[in-house]
Structure 1
Amino acid sequence: MNTTPHDSTLTTADGRSALRMERRLPHPPEKVWAALTDPAALRRWFPSEVTVDLTPGGAMGFHFPGAVGDPGMTGTVTDVEEPRLFAFTWGTDHLSWTVTPDGEGSLLTLVHTFGDRPGAASFASGWHLCVGALARFLDGAPGGIDRDEGALHESYIGRFGLDRGTAEPVGPDGSEGWRVRFERQLVRPAETVWDVLSAGIEPVAGLPVPEGFTAGTSPAGPVTEVRAPRSLTYAVEPHSSVTWELGEGTGHGARLVLTQTGPAGWDTEGALAAWRTRIEQLAAALVDV
């Protein structure tokens, strides 16, 4: 599988993110248009089966494998300009597919607008594989959507800068301390992440925290609260604490939210660097699980 990202960008404004991805195809716009809008063709490369009323305001249904009855999600067609533009909502997201002539072929542009910025790598890697399947379908080649074991997802994490944390003041100008926070989509479920972090040493309240949950920034104290495999909090000297939370993610795996609180004057830059390195080590280990 090709893990080199397509031409793609991620922008964020007004709390919404927009993933833009381009792919050149050696096929005329009319052929690409048919593959974008015909439900029989869509099932060969799209992540779900689709029912669609191909008119502005028309209803769409997204039917996932194994589901019975009503569609798992619904949407509404927002734009239809054959053979140039097909756009629709999918739940709270919006997808716009534009086809423009490009020599003897076409330039396909996808703009996916959504609210969950930390999920951007999941969306990008998913569409990367879907558009690859679309290209093979247009070429007449067999095969469906490839599977990503995690490497492609992680390449988009780095490309979009989704591995960076934030430092936020607590109280006016940080007078009550600071909070470092990371939110990152992982590629394995919470149970697997927990096993990698604990390395066979089950955390227990009142006992030392397993090393995998630390970043070596300052002396780690005892576990203060644990709900395996979803959350763990432990003390850090002096007057600090770290919390790991593993919640629901995009379907690729668990969503990690890591926070560390510290006093006023705390070295947040050092903490950000240390946790970024530790989370990167975890993400790399998960790809190999």
Structure 2
Amino acid sequence: MSIITLTTDYGLKDHFVGALKGKILSQHIDAKIVDISHHVDQFNISEANYIISSAYNSFPKGTVHIIGIDIELTNDNQHIVMQWNDHYFIAADNGILSMLIQKIKPQKIVAINIHDRLLPEATDMDVFVTVAVHIAKGGLLNVIGKEIKSIKEVTELQPVIASDLNSIKGYVVYIDHFGNAVTNISKKMFIDVAKGRPYEVNFKNKKVKSIFAKYSDIETTDKQPLSIISGKALAIFNEAGFLEIGIYKSNPKIGSASSLLGLTYRDFVMINFNS
């Protein structure tokens, strides 16, 4: 079974997602198409990176992932395929794949060079579809592209560890369905720097002194009843392994970390450690 996943900023109101799936099936009727998300904010590669990095490893090795974010072909935005961790990622070279791989070396990267083999009216996504189907059917990367050694790197909004190791500065990169603010500070980074020291998580003139592993770890007691905890800011490491700021038992229609705390994309979050 060939699996092709889709992550785009197309939304679901228009015909684009349906047409995209139709094009894949027209070339590969047995393809298994899985939607990861079509609600990425337009051109937001940081958000797309978080979604892809959180989801891809749930799929079998050999899965082909189409990332349809900012894919218009230009001299500075070529189309590429990356084989990494035994998965295949088709995207524009706009920095998103450098954010995904971090410091883990890809197995192979090729610059797609089949554009002149397609019809003149072929779109950028038509190119991605043709490449995805080729790979899903077992085709080799060197048939559809020329190997390259480097890709565009993005340094903006990357988490920063202070030189004295007493703080980590990260950024909100995603607001989830519940209104929780997800940062790019990973649990691994936190553990490596914290080394068991006490800490505070600071954001928007607020602070919390504990990071929970999951929401169910928050216990209520006679001294700390549910009525007191509900509506309070808290921090957890989510299932994807990233620091998340939320409101306990919040309702996104009434109030959430994003709306009540004013946290939004690109806002910074600090973790300060006590020596």
TM-score relative to the length of structure 2 = 0.34
Q: Larger % of strand: which?
A: 1
Larger radius of gyration: 1
TM-score relative to the length of structure 1 = 0.33
